[in-house]
Amino acid sequence: SILQHAKDFKEYHRSVAGKIQKLSKAVATWHANTEREQKKETERIEKERMRRLMAEDEEGYRKLIDQKKDRRLAYLLQQTDEYVANLTNLVWE
């Protein structure tokens, strides 16, 4: 009886350890997949932004920058617009 209890005790804890190991592996795999998908999405958006820039689709490019909330690029585009407007005014004068 005591030997059977010891055997059952060991088997129970071995199975629990196996379940914990499987669960931790599943969680690690999920995190790796999620990170990979996020990286792919970021690269896709960056490629789309560059494609629109190369195609001179200014409106689409600005929309992508607004979606990305890239303040630095938005600021540079605003400065460029102001500079072009200023040059246009100087040419008209």
Give the mean pLDDT of 56-67: 71
Cα dihedral 2, 8, 10, 12 sign: negative
* pLDDT tens-digit series, residues 24-43: 999 999 999 999 999 998 88
Domain locations along the chain: 2-56
The pLDDT of residue 13: 97
Residue 10 has pLDDT above 90, yes or no: yes
| Nearest residue to 52 (alpha-carbon basis) of 35, 36, 73, 72 | 73
| Nearest residue to 45 (alpha-carbon basis) of 60, 31, 33 | 60
Cα(69)–Cα(51) distance, integer angstroms: 18
Residue 14 has pLDDT above 90, yes or no: yes
Residue 87 has pLDDT above 90, yes or no: no
Cβ 58 vs Cβ 74: under 8 Å: no
Length of the chain: 93
